[in-house]
Amino acid sequence: MANFRVHPQQSVEGKGPGIDCIDIVNMLGDYLDGDLSPETAHRCQHHFSECSYCRRLFEEYCTTISVASELRDIPPPADVRTRLRSRLLEHLRSGSQK
Ligand SMILES: [Zn+2]
């Protein structure tokens, strides 16, 4: 298992202004559902503005969703979040195991 810098039990709400990629991974579902508090959602957006990797994954997700909604024949890509999340986790693992 990778050792992330952020303690999983540490709430994002109590943290400083910045959040890490692992926070994005943990909150991705809630963020996409709009279930985060406005402040926390704002922190996510701030992270996207600073982290090109998370931003790219997020943009890719949005593109996939919009393409899927245009092509009504295919079902909503319910597994996209799971793939997004696992890809981000892979990225974090490879980055922390140098
Ligand atoms: Zn990131």
For the chain, what are the domain ranges? 17-96
pTM tops 0.75: no
Residue 25 Cα, ligand 1 centroid: separation in angstroms?
Answer: 9
Which pLDDT score is estimated for 82? 84
Q: Give burial (CB, 10 Å; 0-12/13-18/19+) of 25.
A: buried
Cα 95 to ligand 1 centre (Å): 12
d(CA 75, CA 73): 7
Helix axes 21-33, 80-96, angle to 10 degrees: 170
Distance in Å, CA 13 to ligand 1 centroid: 17
* Burial (CB count within 10 angstroms: exposed 0-12, middle 13-18, buried 19+), residue 68: middle
- Measure 72 CA to ligand 1 centroid, in angstroms: 31
Question: What per-residue confidence (pLDDT) applies to 68?
Answer: 75
Query: What is the reported pLDDT for 94?
Result: 87
Q: How confident is the model at residue 79 (pLDDT cuts 50, 70, 90)?
A: confident
The band of 41, judged by pLDDT with boundaries at 50, 70 and 90, is very high
Give 76 or 23, the one with higher predicted confidence. Answer: 23
